[in-house]
Chains A and B, each alone.
Chain A
């Protein structure tokens, strides 16, 4: 069965420090992977996605993610975190059937300290 694991429930990073959020997936074929961010009281906003090509993908707000098939991972990174990045981050994989939805990980809450 398809699944997504985000091992870290909560991470605190100092403002200006680098960030890496971990995501591991379980999927038999080529995964279609997404990272979404959810600010308090808001819906989910797409940061970036991967489905083929270059394994390092660039997203909005200075985020990037690297797909590593050998490790079944799709970790999200940012070189310098800003206070406004504090939010909940969800990794997701698209189900194999066309027209169906995303399978999300449980999310990682990012806190930014000054």
Chain B
């Protein structure tokens, strides 16, 4: 089945040690999003790609970076994770720019920072 895949599902890292989270999709969608969801909070958009165009939210810390080497893959890099970065990270995709288009979410990667 076409889907959004996130690896790993659980990631443990040490304070300050760089970590990369992976997202892939078989939907061939041109828009990919990264959301951060802290415990008992709503998902919050970090950034998104429209094709190769990167769009960063104004309040996303510089510590968070992203790469999209091709249509199928998108990576979230956290350069120096802090304890406050522990969260669920959700990847989502969407086809096109119309607001009524559905976003499809992956299962998420839960990040723990020790």
Contact = CB atoms under 8 A, between A and B. Distances in A.
29 contacts: A32-B100, A34-B102, A36-B105, A41-B107, A41-B108, A42-B107, A43-B106, A43-B107, A44-B43, A45-B105, A46-B104, A49-B100, A51-B99, A51-B100, A52-B100, A94-B99, A98-B99, A99-B50, A99-B97, A100-B45, A101-B45, A101-B48, A101-B92, A102-B43, A102-B45, A104-B42, A104-B44, A106-B40, A106-B41
Interface in B84-108: 90, 92, 97-100, 102-108
Nearest to B31: A99
A98 B99 CA distance: 6
Interface of B: 4, 6, 9, 31, 33, 35, 40-45, 48, 50, 55, 90, 92, 97-100, 102-108
A44 B55 CA distance: 22
Contacts of B108: 41-43
Q: Dominant SS at the A interface?
A: loop
Interface residues of A, number: 26
